[in-house]
Amino acid sequence: MNPVESVPVSVGVNGLTAILVSLACVALSWWALQNLKLDLFIRHPKGPQGKLLQLLLAVVLGRFVASFVLEYWGYTQMLRYMF
């Protein structure tokens, strides 16, 4: 395989990895937020607005966690250039 041909494949694999990690982190955040007592903060946590707030919180939290995981993975990949 030509090295020039492997660059788009590498970018594609990185993109797919980022998507999968982001979705997994959002799902994990959604699962973790199921334990949160939203009735302390909002009136109707089981209503559509309460569920939407929970989904938005899961997306925001999941994005931060995914960003951390992907950055950490990138840093570990850079370590091989140290030696």
pLDDT at 52: 92
In terms of residue numbers, what domain contains 49? 9-81
Is 2 within the bounds of a domain?
A: no
10-54, pLDDT tens digit by residue? 888 889 999 999 999 999 999 999 998 878 888 887 889 989 999
Is 4 within the bounds of a domain?
A: no
* Number of domain units in the chain: 1
Q: Cβ distance 43 to 11 under 8 Å? A: no
For the chain, give the secondary structure using H, E and C.
Answer: CCHHHHHHHHHHHHHHHHHHHHHHHHHHHHHHHCCCCHHHCCCCCCCHHHHHHHHHHHHHHHHHHHHHHHHHHHHHHHHHHCC
Is 74 within the bounds of a domain?
A: yes
pLDDT at 81: 85
pLDDT at 3: 58
Is 53 within the bounds of a domain?
A: yes
